[in-house]
Chain A
Amino acid sequence: MAEVNIQNIVKTFGEIRAVDDVTLTIRDREFLVLLGPSGCGKTTLLRMIAGLEEPTSGEIFIDEKLVNFTPPKDRDISMVFQNYALYPHMDVTNNITLGLRLHKTPKDTIKARLANAASWLQLSSLLDRTPRQLSGGQQQRVALGRSVVREPKVFLMDEPLSNLDARLRVNMRAELIKLHRQLGATIVYVTHDQSEAMTMATRVAIMRNGVLQQLDAPLKVYRQPANKYVATFMGNPEMNFLEAGIARDGEDWVLTGSTFRQKLPAERGEALSKQNGHGFWLGVRPEAISIVPESESDDGIPAIIDVVSPMGGNTLVYAIVDGETLVADVPSDVEPSVGDKVRLVLDPTRIHAFDRESELALW
């Protein structure tokens, strides 16, 4: 397996900078997820690693070897595509083994690898079928099989689960985690689904408009987002934001909004007060909000319950604060009613602050 080193990669299509000066290292045996919305440049970056797009500038190294001018077939990579890209006129066996045959792999090896992959992916009874005789999930497994039998240094995957139904997608996530563990493979995985990134990645690289925003372990990205964009992208429901300023209340530091005052831990208050002030975005995850009846507390943010969505194990409560909607993720035994006047109490250790202009995290 191998390390992929990307240095100052730029890709332009006419006036558009699809990938803008990205530098990142994908470590050996790492499951790296490139995460971002459509058009953020993540697939273009993956295609450049594969050799299907030529970088406008910058360098790509696989196993310390510069591969900018190496054709895809000689990069020792394999790729799983969003639409699987199985050859419609070939049966499963040929789809899986064509790459090996083209690389002049000995017949015995091909046979052994096909048998292994087919048994692992439960394709043994489907080897004579053509793609149109397979379900979406089966086609997906064939695409994985084609990738696995190559035993490449790097697996590239371009939203491979996005065409599957929800249940199958969750099952396949587990299969991919197992694949990663069994093969000890370096995997670069592109998705716009933050839950896939959260569940599978060793590290997540979040991209926006071709620029890398943050590269970290998923939980770290979730807990310590580098900026407001990352904070918004990671987490479902999204992080809540309120405009806030900072003020002193006796010994304490408080974040102040038009309708609320939120006490801050001393060191965070100190840190914020040193920022030259054009104000902050106060960010808080839904699960860091608890709901108390208005009569029971003077703390927290006064709000009116707008929508209650029981999810089974938990309940999502949408509350109106000063014209804005905030979401709280509370235990299912909390059962507020629509129209109730409540207070939203924020966990002071789990709140985030972002600069209003640069939108960078302030701690």
Chain B
Amino acid sequence: MSAVTSAYKPDRRLQRNNRLKDVATYGVLVLACVATTGPIIFLLATSLKETYTRTVDLSVFLSPSWTNYHNVWFVHPFRQWMINSLIVATVVTVLILFIDSLAGYAFARKRFRGRDGLFLVLLATLMIPLPVTLLPTFLLANRLGLINTYQALILPGLAYPVGVFMMRQFIQTIPGELEDAARIDGMSDFGIYIRVILPLCIPGLAVLGLFTFTTSWSAFLWPLIVATSDSTRTIPPGLATIPGQYNTDWGLATAATVSSMIPMLIIFLIFQRYLRQGFGGGRTTKG
């Protein structure tokens, strides 16, 4: 044993290579951090300055001015936009989670004629770009008298094939025997969906929920067209109204942008455990 130990000599070249690799790795990571956090720091710094300057002055964090935030929340109609965005994004997310998981369950588990063809058609709709459907959807909403209503903001967002696809893939990982056991226990199809499938899909639902909420929260083009007043306007088209024709109050704009990020941040912090599981793929205990 001692012969073996004494025969061992650390390979200096290997050690040097490893050190170089570490330096390169951390160098790239630092660059990535600066690239992602830099704009956010700039945004925060600008929003906390009373008057706009082009330079980034980090000393502003020591003596921040909250005037811009006060103006955003109490002078501008930002609060109404925030309420509208919360209502629309929440309703869209809840309904999509329900509709897409139910459709995903049917596509994953039910045997019916034309199932695979129908699924392909559903996926094919992903190829159609939004601007192509924009005009017909607007005409339809107009004819139904939905312009400048929450319904106009919510209903088109419910057709979300990516969600159906995601839920189908997730549900396929749940062992079919669980469903058989539930059927023998006396559950109906809907009972199986509610009591067995949904609870096991929570990580998948969390990912889908985050995607949906983010998409709905940051949607710009459609709300810009159908929300024509502050009573229904959501945050992204609202933010677009802040820059004036001749000058822009950057302090106000950045304070509004930072405020609009807060709900997303809270959601991410609450659901991050499920999100990690969901991104890791659907896994359940077999049996």
**B196, CB-defined interface residue at 8 Å:** yes
CA distance A117 to B184 in the complex (A): 19
Known: A85-B177, A87-B196. Contact between A79 and B184, CB under 8 A?
A: yes
**Which residues on A sit within 8 Å (CB–CB) of B285?**
86, 88, 131-132
**A77, CB-defined interface residue at 8 Å:** yes
**Which residues on A sit within 8 Å (CB–CB) of B11?**
none
Please report A residues at the B interface, Cβ cutoff 8 Å: 47, 50-52, 71-73, 77-79, 81-89, 98-99, 102-103, 131-132, 139, 143, 146, 163
CA distance A71 to B185 in the complex (A): 11
**B22, CB-defined interface residue at 8 Å:** no
**Which residues on A sit within 8 Å (CB–CB) of B182?**
87
CA distance A78 to B181 in the complex (A): 9
15 sample A-B contacts, Cβ–Cβ < 8 Å, listed by A number: A73-B184, A73-B187, A77-B184, A79-B180, A79-B184, A81-B177, A81-B181, A86-B287, A87-B181, A87-B182, A103-B186, A131-B285, A131-B287, A146-B181, A163-B287
A-B contacts counted at CB < 8 A amount to 66
CA distance A99 to B196 in the complex (A): 13
Among A85, A98, A131, A132, max chain B CB count under 10 A is at: A85
Smallest CB–CB gap between A219 and chain B, Å? 33
CA distance A131 to B183 in the complex (A): 19
Known: A81-B177, A83-B177, A88-B200. Contact between A73 and B287, CB under 8 A?
A: no
**Which residues on A sit within 8 Å (CB–CB) of B286?**
83
**Which residues on B sit within 8 Å (CB–CB) of A89?**
199-200
**Which residues on B sit within 8 Å (CB–CB) of A131?**
285, 287
CA distance A72 to B185 in the complex (A): 8
CA distance A73 to B177 in the complex (A): 15
Please report B residues at the A interface, Cβ cutoff 8 Å: 175, 177-178, 180-187, 191, 196, 199-200, 284-287
| In the complex, residue of chain A having the shortest beta-carbon distance to the beta carbon of B179 | A85
CA distance A86 to B184 in the complex (A): 13
Q: Which of A72, A82, A88, A139 contacts B184 (CB 8 A)?
A: A72
CA distance A71 to B199 in the complex (A): 24
Q: Is the CB of B186 within 8 A of A73?
A: yes
Q: Is the interface of B mostly helix, strand, loop or mixed?
A: helix
CA distance A52 to B184 in the complex (A): 8
**Which residues on A sit within 8 Å (CB–CB) of B199?**
89
**Which residues on B sit within 8 Å (CB–CB) of A146?**
181, 185
CA distance A163 to B181 in the complex (A): 18
CA distance A231 to B181 in the complex (A): 35
CA distance A99 to B184 in the complex (A): 8
Q: Is the CB of A85 within 8 A of B175?
A: yes
CA distance A91 to B8 in the complex (A): 53
Known: A73-B186, A99-B186. Contact between A79 and B287, CB under 8 A?
A: no
**Which residues on B sit within 8 Å (CB–CB) of A50?**
180, 184
CA distance A356 to B186 in the complex (A): 50
CA distance A73 to B186 in the complex (A): 5
Known: A83-B177, A87-B196, A89-B199. Contact between A139 and B183, CB under 8 A?
A: no
CA distance A98 to B285 in the complex (A): 19
CA distance A99 to B185 in the complex (A): 4
**Which residues on B sit within 8 Å (CB–CB) of A139?**
287
Q: Which of B178, B184, B200 contacts A78 (CB 8 A)?
A: B184
